[in-house]
Each structure stands twice: as structure tokens, then as C-alpha cells.
Amino acid sequence: MKYIKLTTAQALVRFLDNQYVSFDGHEEKFIEGVFTIFGHGNVLGIGQALEENPGDLKVHQGRNEQGMALAAVAFAKQKNRKKIYACTTSVGPGAANMVTAAGTATANNIPVLLLPGDTFATRQPDPVLQQVEQTYNLSVTTNDAFRAVTKYWDRVTRPEQLMSAMINAMRVLTDIGNTGAVCVAMPQDVQGEVFDFPESFLAKRVHVIDRRIGTPTEFKNAAELIKRKKKPVIICGGGVRYSEAGEELKKFAKDFNIPIGETQAGKSSIENDFELNMGGIGVTGNLAANTIAAKADLVIGIGTRFTDFTSGSKALFQNENVEFLTINASDFHAEKMDAVKIVGDAKVCLEELNKQLSKDGYKSAYSSEPERAKADWQSELSRLRGIKFTKTGFKAEVPDQIEESLNEIFELYGGALTQTEVLGVINDFLKKDYVVVGSSGSLPGDLQRVWETNEKYSYHMEYGYSCMGYEINGALGVKMADPSKEVYAMVGDGSYLMLHSELVTSIQENKKINVLLFDNCGFGCINNLQMGNGMGSFETEFRNRESKKLIPIDYAKAASGYGVKTYSVRTLEELRNALEDAKKQEISTLIDIKVLPKTMTNGYESWWHVGVAGVSEKDSIKKAFEEKEDGLKKARKY
């Protein structure tokens, strides 16, 4: 065996540069590059290795550790988990900032490699700058916080540990059934230590991502279950997208006449105009999908985790004879809802299940129900897009409106639009070669319901963690993954203020993104939640403490200071003109759209279980608690 003398950090960089994946016979580099914010805990170790010999790894300078890591998460998601970025930080605040991004990746089963610096393995200078000292355990550092939000965690305290640590890291990063964030903590002294590394460790390594197929018994049980059912419904989850199984799903649905509802992660895997695609399902779903789901006697979940938003907190499916079938690459997720399961890749499992059902000539008992449901929703969608604000007699979509707030915002900005009419105009404008990115607030619910697209993988929503601040930073990651597309970050003012750091990085890297900022002067989604459950408006509107007046913010003016091309919008004509001009720009753009609160979409035949106070002096909260208890009676217990 041959050896090469390198520092631990140099060996790490060479290892990362030589990792490949093979999927469906196509081989490509797995790690595109490294996002960095250098500090004393990584600049002279990993930083030195990247500066001296990065190989083919691209190195990007981030602005905020959470922001750059969210960009890495979005990059991997848009690449359907077949290519990733690594992220390196110093120990202390820099590392802690990435914890939220790690949770975002793990909740969504998206691979990202985090390489935070750490305190000294020798402990000689303890406490080093930024070190948190725990008197009960001196081995604990900031990086232990990653244990709760990663799929694999390790700390390299000796150079020779790097080999087993990184091989295990790659095992998890390429495991489609159990992937997520991976954290390998790197003490800063160990990064610079020298060791004779085997050349075999540094050689090209190809990780084969197989399309695993279920067992014969699983297919037999699944086919027998389906044949007993008359009104099945399919839930198209993220696993359909990552498996690239959209065409197989459409064929399966059409062959057996089974309607489909989409999750946030699954949306845009198949075309919106496919006749059996009912659209978004669940708490933020539309009337068509939820009407079908409520009566279904079989729910076929494909690549879905059955989150509370997808299942309506397990209350959406009201047929007393309903049963569940899952197709999932993860044993864990396949077991949910007490389902009959097929553990495997969505594409090949759909193909095999199709063969088995075709032998028996199975067809569902649906006649015109899916067609009628879809037509009814189209009529409702037209109504939503046509909603206009009037100063008197206006009834907002969300019934718990604050009429004075609507008028106040309208007067504050000299005009404002309803959220649904704005989305309609944007949707009509974007037809091809685009991606919309979102994550938090009211926009994900509106987009899952009203956004229509026939552009594959053009809908990029992070709704497993619903991480505020993902939108703009994620848009950068999407643009890096697919530079040919116009990328639009759909973001509320609350989330924009939370984190938009990589907007600056987009300018530095010449990666144009478009920010569509919906300003309704507050955390509108949570204001809806509190008011809809008996509370008043409490610390969710952006008001001055003394005057109680809303705080006007000129986001366009602020962003222009970064070098972004900006627009201020208060009318539909201004919006259309801004969209047209923004598309012509070569630098990142921001369209500051003033919208009215309570003008987003509201629930459609769905229920969401949230914690409501069981004791209160307010009759409105007592009523909300009773309604919650009534809803819980209709929900499955597990």
C-alpha cells in the first residue's frame, strides 16, 4: 500500500474532490464545491488546503453561515439529491449558525455536508476564543448541538480518524432512504496535523445509488389491497421527484383511473394539466384534492412522509373503511399510517405494481368525480385571482380580518394589492424556464393551492422545516444548480427580515435571482393562526410600540444599496412592468410588492391540529379549544 504525507485538512479536500455517484448508469462528481466563511477555527486548516489545491471543487464565500448552508440544501434538492455542496465554518457562532440549516436538510431528507471547525483536541489553549466550556463534560463543544439535527455526526480528534469518518459520511449522504445533514467536526489543531494517508483512501470512489425494488410479498400484498378498493387516491410526495418517476406515476394513475394529490415536495413532478392531477392536498391543499381524499377508501402514499399538513393532522381521510399503502425508499416512512408497504424506489416499484395490477384488469370505480372536482376548483381559482380590494365593504378571504389594518396599509403605501391577484399575475407571466422557491409564511399555502405549472421541477418548496430565511438563500442554491432558469424567491416581509444574506453572494457570484417580496407589514400567517383561534392580534403586526402605527419599510430602497435592481409595486400594471423588466436584467432583482393582510387563501375542507389553551378567560379561546377537541375526535390516533 502506498501512502502520501498530508495534513488532515488536505486529505479531506482531496477525498471530497474524488467522490462520484452513479445513478441509472450515469456517473458524475458528487461534491460540487465548498461554501466557506473563514474564522480562526478553519481558515488555516481547511482554508489552507482549499487555497493550495482545491482540485475541481468550487469555493464560494458566504455571508451568513445559515444562509450559505441553506443555499447548499437548495442546491442538492434541485439536483434531486445527486450532487451536493459542503460547508465549512469556524467553531462557535459560525458553527451554531448552521444548526438551523442542518435541521432543514434533515427534516426534508436532503444531503448536505457540514464541516465546522472545533476547539483544540489537545485542549492546550482552553478556553480558546469562542469556546463554550461545560463543567460537567469538557469534551462538549458547540458542535454537539448538531447531534439532534443530523443523520450522521462525528468528530475527528486524530488524523487517522478522518478515513472512517468520511467513508461513513458518504454512506449516509448517498443513502436515499436515510439521508440528510451530515456533520463532521474538525478540531482546528487536528486540521493542520500531518499523517501518512493511504492513496487508496484518496482515490476515486464511485457510490452507486441503486433503484431498490420491493419484495415479491410486498407487491402481492399491495396488489391484493388495491383490488379490494373502489375509490383510491394517490399522494405524490418528494420521493416521486427524487426518483424522477413522474411519467411512471402518470401512467399508473391513468391505467387504473386513480386521482392524484400533490405534497409540497412532490409538486411539479407531474404537469398541473394532467387530467388526474387534482393539485395540492392537505391543510394547504385545494378543494379538488381534499374532496377526493375525504371519500377515498385507499390512500396510496408514494414518497411521502405523511406530515400533518399532508394528512390534515390525520383527519383528512374520513372514509370509515380507508386503508393505506406506501411506496417509500425509507423503511421508517413506509411504516407510517399503519400501512401495507413497499420499500423501494418509486419509479421501479410503480412499474412493477402496474404490471401486477394490469394482469387482473383493475380499474377504480370513479366515473366523472375527478373531472368535476377539478372543474369546480378551476372555477374557485378564477374567483381567487379576480379578488380586488375596495375601501368599504371588503370581505377578506381569511374571516378574522382587521378592517382598519387593511385600510391603514392601503393608505400607508398609497395603494396595495390582494395576495391572490398578485400570484395570478405572476403565474400567468411565468410559463417556462423558471423555478419558484418558497418556504414559510402564508405563501407556501397559497402556492400549493393556486400555483399551476407544466414545467418539470419548477416548484421548489421547503416545507418540511418551513424555515424562515430559506427563500432567498435557497434561490441562490437553485440558480447554482440550474443557471439556465430564471429563479424567483417568493418571500414575505417577515422572512425577508429574518435572513437574506446570500442576496449579496448572488451578486458576487454573478448568479442572478429574482426576489418577489410580499410586504403585508407583519407575520401574517401567524396572525391568522392566533386570531383564528380566539386570540387578538398580538405581536405579529409590525407596529411602533408607542404610536401603535404600522412601520413603513422601503425594501426596494434598502436592497438597492446592495447593487440589486429594484422595483416598487402597488398596482397590477406596475407588477407586470416590473416582471417584464426584471427578466431582462443580468443582476439580481427585487420587486417590493405591497399586499394586504388576510387576502391569502383560506382552508379548503381541511383541519390542522395546533395547541390551544384549555383554560382561558376569553370565550373566543374556549370556543377554539372546543373546536380543536371536536376535530381531534375525527382524526386517527396514530
- 127: β partners: none
- Cis ω on the peptide bond leading into residue 127 (within 30° of 0)? yes
**Could you tell me the three cell numbers for 250?**
402518470
DSSP H/E element including 241: helix 238-243
* Closest residue by Cα to residue 13 from 88, 74, 92: 88
Q: Are 462 and 73 in contact (CB under 8 A)?
A: yes
Q: Which amino acid is at 220?
A: K
Q: What is the pLDDT of residue 373?
A: 97
Q: What is the pLDDT of residue 560?
A: 98
Q: What is the pLDDT of residue 401?
A: 74
Q: Which amino acid is at 148?
A: A
Q: What is the pLDDT of residue 319?
A: 97
Q: Please state the φ and ψ torsions of residue 95, each to the nearest 5 degrees.
A: -65, -45
CA–CA separation, 426 vs 429, rounded Å? 5
Tell me the H-state helices in 430-501. Answer: 443-450, 470-481, 493-498
Q: What is the pLDDT of residue 87?
A: 98
Q: Are 574 and 567 in contact (CB under 8 A)?
A: yes
Cα within 13 Å of Cα(270), Cβ side: 29
* Closest residue by Cα to residue 39 from 112, 99, 92, 113: 92
* Distant-in-sequence, close-in-space partners of 210: CB < 8 Å, separation ≥ 6: 345
Extract long-range pairs of 277-280: CB within 8 Å, 24+ residues apart.
278/370, 278/373, 278/374, 278/377, 279/374, 279/377, 279/448, 279/449, 280/448, 280/449
**Could you tell me the three cell numbers for 127?**
478556553
pTM over 0.95: yes
Residue stretches of the chain with pLDDT short of 70? none
CA–CA separation, 290 vs 275, rounded Å? 16
* Closest residue by Cα to residue 592 from 518, 489, 505, 484: 518
**Could you tell me the three cell numbers for 555?**
425594501
* Closest residue by Cα to residue 117 from 45, 51, 11: 45
* Closest residue by Cα to residue 340 from 301, 295, 398, 286: 301
DSSP H/E element including 424: helix 419-429
CB-CB neighbours of 417 under 10 Å:
25
State the residue for C-alpha cell 402605527: 549
Q: Are 488 and 436 in contact (CB under 8 A)?
A: yes
Instruction: Specify the pairing of strand 19-23 against strand 26-29.
Output: antiparallel
Q: What is the pLDDT of residue 352?
A: 97
